């Protein structure tokens, strides 16, 4: 079966899906995106993703290419045409096509692209043994809360992780605090059993999985503290893990060359991974 993409009002074969060379997403990274997990045909935490989509558009003053319900109709149609019931849907909006000039064009029509694919997350085996992360300086801009397609530092960071044989790179700000991974949020469990993850300000993307895990943890009477933590604190933590739409809850067992606790996934990370799986399954 050939894949189908949605491109500015048309459903086209994936191989032939194209945008204009003067699309501002292509020239300036002037656009935003969302990745939503699909489980049994259901869009997981759809509302939180749409809230963030609208927020990202608003922060960049890009006109929504269409309203929420139309957007979800297109998403479901893309999933249907690609026979995806378990996987992800990717949606991207840019400020559209205009002669190249940095300032916003007077007239442009927001561009919208959507694709879907069957995608398995990282292997269950990796989650069973736990993942390794490296630490790198956070060289990104000061609005990481916007889910912009401008991801060059994240690309370079993930490549460094891959070359180091690690699953992710945790980015570290000038004060020595971990902000987040290149495509995941970072968490630790303290000696007192508290869950700590960076507060959702401009320095991180407020992950939808992060929000879901906060909710799940609090329902289980766990204490969640949203604050910064240092690399040293993470290395000495009782447990560490990371969260994202595609990785779910992934235990972290090694930070650079230091094992976290005994180097195996801890009970809280495991329990949260299980509980998140149940949440996704609805």
- The set of catalytic residues is 147
Cβ closer to ligand PMP: 82 or 244? 244
Does residue 245 bind ligand PMP (CB under 6 A)?
yes
Give the closest residue to 229 by CA, choosing from 265, 184, 185: 185
Using CA atoms of 132, 137, 138, 139 in order, give the dihedral in degrees to the nearest 10.
-130
Does residue 208 bind ligand PMP (CB under 6 A)?
yes
* Sign of the alpha-carbon torsion through 211, 267, 250, 183: positive
Which residue number is nearest to ligand PMP in terms of Cβ? 207
Hey, which residues between 34 and 53 contact ligand PMP (CB under 6 A)?
Answer: 35
Percent helix / strand / coil, the chain, rounded to 5: 30, 30, 40
Residue 40: CB minimum distance to ligand PMP, A: 19
173 C-beta neighbours (distance < 10 Å), count: 16
Measured CA to CA, the distance from residue 144 to residue 15 in angstroms comes to 32
Residue 12 and residue 114 in contact, taking contact as beta carbons nearer than 8 Å: no
Using CA atoms of 65, 69, 71, 73 in order, give the dihedral in degrees to the nearest 10.
-140
Strand partners, 250: 242
Pick the binder of ligand PMP from 82, 135, 177, 244 (CB under 6 A).
244
Pick the binder of ligand PMP from 82, 92, 135, 185 (CB under 6 A).
185
Q: How many residues bind ligand PMP (CB under 6 A)?
A: 14
Does residue 243 bind ligand PMP (CB under 6 A)?
yes
Measured CA to CA, the distance from residue 258 to residue 17 in angstroms comes to 45
Does residue 184 bind ligand PMP (CB under 6 A)?
yes
Cβ closer to ligand PMP: 84 or 88? 88
Does residue 197 bind ligand PMP (CB under 6 A)?
no
Cβ closer to ligand PMP: 162 or 259? 162
Does residue 188 bind ligand PMP (CB under 6 A)?
no
Does residue 116 bind ligand PMP (CB under 6 A)?
no
Does residue 180 bind ligand PMP (CB under 6 A)?
yes
Pick the binder of ligand PMP from 114, 205, 214, 250 (CB under 6 A).
205
Please compute, for residue 267, the number of CA atoms within 13 A of its CA located in the half-sphere on the CB side: 2
Cβ closer to ligand PMP: 181 or 265? 181
Largest CA distance in the chain: 59
Residues that bind ligand PMP (CB under 6 A): 35, 154, 180, 183-185, 205, 207-210, 243-245
């Amino acid at each position: 079966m050939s894949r189908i993409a949605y491109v500015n009002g048309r459903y086209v074969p994936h191989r032939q899906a194209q945008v204009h060379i003067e699309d501002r997403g292509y020239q300036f990274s002037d656009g935003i995106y969302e990745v939503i997990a699909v489980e049994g045909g259901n869009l997981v935490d759809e509302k939180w993703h749409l809230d963030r989509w609208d927020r990202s558009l608003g922060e960049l003053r890009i006109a929504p290419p269409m309203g929420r319900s139309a957007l979800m109709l297109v998403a479901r149609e893309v999933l249907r045409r690609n026979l995806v019931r378990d996987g992800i849907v990717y949606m991207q909006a840019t400020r559209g096509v205009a002669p190249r000039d940095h300032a916003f064009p007077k007239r442009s029509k927001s561009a919208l692209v959507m694709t879907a694919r069957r995608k398995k997350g990282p292997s269950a085996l990796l989650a069973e043994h736990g993942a390794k992360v490296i630490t790198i300086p956070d060289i990104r801009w000061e609005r990481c809360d916007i889910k912009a397609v401008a991801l060059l530092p994240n690309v370079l960071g993930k490549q460094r992780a891959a070359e180091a044989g690690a699953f992710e790179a945790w980015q570290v700000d000038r004060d020595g605090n971990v902000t987040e991974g290149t495509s995941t949020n970072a968490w630790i469990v303290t000696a007192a059993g508290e869950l700590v993850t960076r507060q959702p300000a401009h320095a991180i993307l407020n992950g939808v999985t992060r929000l879901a895990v906060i909710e799940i943890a609090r329902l289980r009477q766990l204490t969640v503290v949203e604050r910064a933590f240092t690399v040293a604190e993470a290395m000495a933590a009782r447990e560490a893990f990371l969260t994202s739409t595609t990785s779910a809850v992934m235990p972290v067992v090694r930070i650079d060359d230091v094992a976290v606790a005994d180097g195996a996934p801890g009970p809280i990370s495991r329990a949260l991974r299980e509980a998140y799986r149940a949440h996704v399954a609805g």
